Amino acid sequence: MDYKDTKAAISTVTYNRNLLEAPTENIYEAISIIAKRANQINEDLKKELVDKLEEFATYNDSLEEVFENKEQIEVSKFYERLPKPTALAVEEWLNDKVYHRNPEETV
């Protein structure tokens, strides 16, 4: 998923509790689902960042010296400016983009 073109809030936002719990009718279950999705998003972003930084990595025989080039710094700054994974997960939840099911419920 492309997290760069999202409309998620970059700063702290207060959400309507009723909107958050509406799909599950249980605020704790909704928060649990949002937290699991935020963990998935965080893993995806971390993997993507590491892959991009590896492209610019310069390897040395000396372990004491670590060189950072301008491209690595720019990539890192870009990812720091993205919304937090929890904000992305809440946005997906409120826009009904998160699939969830309760295995204990019988159909």
Contacts of 33 (CB under 8 A, 6+ apart): 24, 93, 98, 100
Domain boundaries, the chain: 17-94
Whether the model clears a pTM of 0.85, i.e. scores above it, the answer is no
pLDDT at res. 72? 82
Over residues 43-49, mean pLDDT: 93
What is the average pLDDT value for the chain, to the nearest integer? 85
Whether 64 shows a pLDDT value over 90: the answer reads no
Lowest mean pLDDT segment, chosen from 17-21, 36-40, 52-56, 85-89: 52-56
CA-to-CA distance for 45 and 57, rounded, in angstroms? Answer: 18
DSSP string, 34-53: HHHHHHHHHHHHHHHHHHHH
Q: Under a CB-based contact definition with an 8 Å cutoff, are residues 11 and 95 in contact?
A: no
Whether 73 shows a pLDDT value over 90: the answer reads no
Whether 88 shows a pLDDT value over 70: the answer reads yes
Q: Under a CB-based contact definition with an 8 Å cutoff, are residues 15 and 94 in contact?
A: yes
Residue for token pair 């599950």:
24
CA-to-CA distance for 85 and 17, rounded, in angstroms? Answer: 19
pLDDT at res. 105? 78
pLDDT at res. 70? 81
Lowest mean pLDDT segment, chosen from 12-21, 42-51, 55-64: 55-64
Nearest to 44 by CA among 75, 88, 12: 88
